[in-house]
Amino acid sequence: MGRTLSEKVWDEHVVRSTAGEPDLLYIDLHLIHEVTSPQAFDGLRLAGRKVRRPDLTIATEDHNVPTVDWDKPIADPVSRTQVETLRKNTEEFGVRLHPLGDAEQGIVHVVGPQLGLTQPGMTIVCGDSHTSTHGAFGAIAFGIGTSEVEHVLATQTLMQDKPKTMAVTVNGTLPEGVSAKDLILTLISKTGTGGGQGYIVEYRGEAIRALSMEARMTICNMSIEWGAKAGMIAPDETTFAYIQDKPEAPKGAEWDQAVAHWKSLVTDEDAVFDKEIVIDADEVTPFVTWGTNPGQGVPLGASVPSPEDFEDPDAKLAAEKALTYMGLEAGTPMREVHIDTVFLGSCTNGRMEDLRTAADIIQGHRVADGTRFLVVPGSAKVRLQAEEEGLHKIFLDAGAEWRGAGCSMCLGMNPDTLAPGERSASTSNRNFEGRQGKGGRTHLVSPEVAAATAVRGTLSSPADLTLANA
Amino acid sequence: MDKFTTHSGVGVPLRRSNVDTDQIIPAVYLKRVTRTGFEDGLFAAWRNDPTFVLNNEAYAGASVLVAGPDFGTGSSREHAVWALMDYGFRVVISSRFGDIFRGNSGKAGLLAAKVDEKVVQRLWDYLDDNPGAHVTVDLESRTVRAGEGADAIEDSFDIDDYTRWRLLEGLDDIGITLSHDEDIAAYEATRPSFKPVTQHA
């Protein structure tokens, strides 16, 4: 019987396999940031261990860094200590670091691909759940906890039970103005936050093949939001073209060898998945969340649901609690929900295409009175490229804020947070209670919806702007 | 890591589903570089509410948390496990756990016991009716018990064999893996040269 893409990549990385024990899996690339690594380095020091493969390890600063005054010392002493600890640790253990102010600094999941370190057929881990992003290249990539970070630092391996396999086939074509973000939010609303648990998911089908690498990263990024171990997309010409000129891409004869191997990384025709889901891309519309987990979403054209709409008692109770927290009344059209802050950025939607799309929509418009629009590039390189293209001027002219690179308002850890009760439309990945700041209320949206919402001050799609101008 | 065989302690009914790790400990508490002292961040937002179950004196000293489905979803932060343990929890019982949280628990020595949804419901009702009552979790026999007599609750829980063995023995994962150093070195010798590296000579 044939094998799936994930089985092929898995099998290539098994160092040791014994019945009754998890497989010992080799890790090709370990990404590090300041928040989940300090205790791991401490553990190494205590045990007198070193980093086994500093040459397969890379660090950057993203979660805890400010996006204004980033060229000055970090004001918050606790944050500063954490960032300085990373600098000390990477120096002591010989790990490459791209610190704040460096041209390659940025969100770890934006940095890996743009350096060309993320390649098909690899195993990639990081102490961050959105490591699933790298699966867009046909890699097995997943988030780990700090104990596992220490384990990888010390051994370059991880003990892992082999997950089951699932195929999500997306047929058809995404309609105009509908993006990868709408597709993944639609999928999560169908499966719930636990639907992918225990599976490595392969996204496939016509609509997936048509996506750019950046859009594929958006899809794989949110795999964890429906509980999947990892998300993957088979590499193809789009993948190879993206990698080819990147700094760390294979060169010369090695490039040819690599591509020849990468072309074998597809699911065999006679392979069988443990589970399959089929989605029709033609049916997907702009999609937004109303609740406090990424599965609580509806089409933008719909209304806030009522707890009575849910049969399952847990879902009913969860909806009640979510509506109270979000300050929403059942039956309110989503388009009438007023937004205080629009956040464009994060490892989900903080790349060049996201910024270009949003700039294109907001050009010639103004950010609505009473709404602020925060634009945060995913990496310093994205910021520099956007500035070269003049996108920052478009945003600034519209009344938006143009920031330095980092995780920013995605997670309420650095100075970019919502105030209690403040409501955001956010291109990030989590609408959990307090995720963007204590008491903050988050609606997850695509970059298209974010830009249109910034203009109208209520949840909107670009089509609403055209209608208003007609 | 301490060995875990059996544990009996005050059970707390957390009647919520989808308790993600941002709820268990908000990001603002993750700035510390130490391995301990995270108890103040545990369920930080909810603990401001006087009616929150952990603020009920009857459950003081609790060490067994009984939660709704999809406990520990979301962020990979192991700080969520540390916060629970620093607060005094040794066991979390739920019908479904986030994968990364479950893995982190096993590494840090917190027992994540997966039970049938009906068992959670029965434990909730029992602990509501008998605040301060104990729940006993036996890792050797994989059973969870509470109450006495005809209404006593006794059921099995799921945990993978390997994590169970490690917890029972209190073993350090890295030590185990380093004993396979020859296998790792042999694998490394076969890696293709086109694989990327982060440092160049």
Interval A415-452: pLDDT, tens: 999 999 999 999 999 999 999 999 999 999 999 999 99
A410 is in an annotated binding site: yes
Q: Which residues of A touch B94 (CB under 8 A)?
A: none
Detail the DSSP E strand segments found in A85-163. 96-98, 123-126, 140-143, 157-160
Judgement on whether residues A369 and A228 belong to the same structural domain of the protein: no
For an interface test with A, give the residue of B194, B195, B199 to mutate (most A CBs within 10 A): B194
Q: Which residues of A touch B13 (CB under 8 A)?
A: none
CB-closest option in A144, A155, A225 to B100? A144
Judgement on whether residues A420 and A326 belong to the same structural domain of the protein: yes
A336-353 burial, b for 16+ CB within 10 Å, e for fewer? ebebbbbbbbbbbbbbbb
Asked if residue B169 has pLDDT above 90, the reply is yes
**What single letter denotes the amino acid at residue A152?**
V
In-domain check, residue A139: yes
Q: Give the Cβ contact number of residue A433 at 10 Å.
A: 23
Domains by residue range for chain B, with CATH = 6-188 (3.20.19.10)
pLDDT of residue B1: 80
Count how many domains chain A has.
Answer: 2
pLDDT band at A9 (very low <50, low <70, confident <90, very high): very high
Average pLDDT taken over every residue of chain B? 96
Asked if residue A469 has pLDDT above 80, the reply is no
From the list B44, B66, B83, the residue with the least C-alpha distance to B131 is: B66
Judgement on whether residues A352 and A234 belong to the same structural domain of the protein: no
CATH number of the domain within which A253 lies = 3.30.499.10
For an interface test with B, give the residue of A129, A162, A410 to mutate (most B CBs within 10 A): A129
In-domain check, residue A169: yes
Q: Which two tokens stand for residue A383?
A: 């910021």
In-domain check, residue A283: no
Structural contact between residues A426 and A372, judged by C-beta atoms closer than 8 angstroms: no
In-domain check, residue A280: no
Between chains, do B76 and A129 touch, taking CB under 8 Å as contact? yes
Q: Which residues of B touch A145 (CB under 8 A)?
A: 76-78, 81, 100, 103-104, 107-108
From the list B63, B37, B189, the residue with the least C-alpha distance to B133 is: B63
* Distance between CA atoms of residues A130 and A225, nearest Å: 9
Judgement on whether residues A203 and A333 belong to the same structural domain of the protein: no
Asked if residue B95 has pLDDT above 50, the reply is yes
Average pLDDT rounded to a whole number, residues B10-30:
97
A126 is in an annotated binding site: no
Q: Which residues of A touch B14 (CB under 8 A)?
A: none
Identify the domain boundary among A250, A275, A300: A275
Judgement on whether residues A367 and A464 belong to the same structural domain of the protein: yes
Residue B18: phi, psi to the nearest 5? 55, 45
Detail the DSSP E strand segments found in A331-389. 341-344, 372-375
pLDDT band at A468 (very low <50, low <70, confident <90, very high): low
Between chains, do B100 and A145 touch, taking CB under 8 Å as contact? yes
Judgement on whether residues A225 and A292 belong to the same structural domain of the protein: no
Average pLDDT taken over every residue of chain A? 97
In-domain check, residue A281: no
* Distance between CA atoms of residues A289 and A224, nearest Å: 16
Instruction: Identify the residue whose tokens are 């990539």.
Output: A141
Q: Which residue of A has its CA nearest to B173?
A: A151
pLDDT band at A358 (very low <50, low <70, confident <90, very high): very high
CB-closest option in A76, A129, A154 to B75? A129
pLDDT digits 0-9 by tens, B98-137: 999 999 999 999 999 999 999 999 999 999 999 999 999 9
Judgement on whether residues A252 and A305 belong to the same structural domain of the protein: no
Judgement on whether residues A303 and A203 belong to the same structural domain of the protein: no
pLDDT band at A382 (very low <50, low <70, confident <90, very high): very high
Q: Which residues of B touch A411 (CB under 8 A)?
A: 22, 27, 75
Judgement on whether residues A241 and A294 belong to the same structural domain of the protein: no
Judgement on whether residues A130 and A70 belong to the same structural domain of the protein: yes
Q: What Cα–Cα distance (Å) separates residue A419 from each residue in A47, B23, B111?
A: 43, 17, 36
Average pLDDT rounded to a whole number, residues A321-350:
98
Identify the domain boundary among A237, A254, A275: A275
Asked if residue A272 has pLDDT above 60, the reply is yes
Taken in order A308, A309, A310, A316, the sign of the CA dihedral is negative
CB-closest option in A49, A151, A435 to B22? A435
A220 is in an annotated binding site: no
Domain that holds residue A174: 5-275
As for the ipTM of the complex, it is 0.95
Between chains, do B174 and A161 touch, taking CB under 8 Å as contact? no
B92: β partners: B65, B112
Identify the domain boundary among A249, A275, A301: A275
Judgement on whether residues A218 and A348 belong to the same structural domain of the protein: no
Average pLDDT rounded to a whole number, residues A171-176:
96
Task: Return the SS3 of B103.
Answer: helix
For an interface test with A, give the residue of B28, B114, B172 to mutate (most A CBs within 10 A): B28
pLDDT of residue A470: 44
Judgement on whether residues A169 and A295 belong to the same structural domain of the protein: no
Between chains, do B78 and A258 touch, taking CB under 8 Å as contact? no
Crossing angle of helices A391-398 and A352-362, in 10° steps, is: 40
B173-192 burial, b for 16+ CB within 10 Å, e for fewer? bbebbbebeebbeebeeeee
* Distance between CA atoms of residues A278 and A73, nearest Å: 50
pLDDT of residue A231: 98
pTM over 0.95: yes
Average pLDDT rounded to a whole number, residues A83-96:
98
Q: Which two tokens stand for residue B48?
A: 């401001």
Q: Which residues of A touch B48 (CB under 8 A)?
A: none
Query: Which DSSP helix (H) or strand (E) runs through A242?
Result: helix A237-244
> Could you give the percent of chain B with pLDDT greater than 70?
100
> Could you give the percent of chain A with pLDDT greater than 70?
99
Size of interface A-B (CB pairs under 8 A): 205
Asked if residue A467 has pLDDT above 70, the reply is no
Q: What Cα–Cα distance (Å) separates residue A128 from each residue in A108, A309, A411?
A: 9, 34, 12
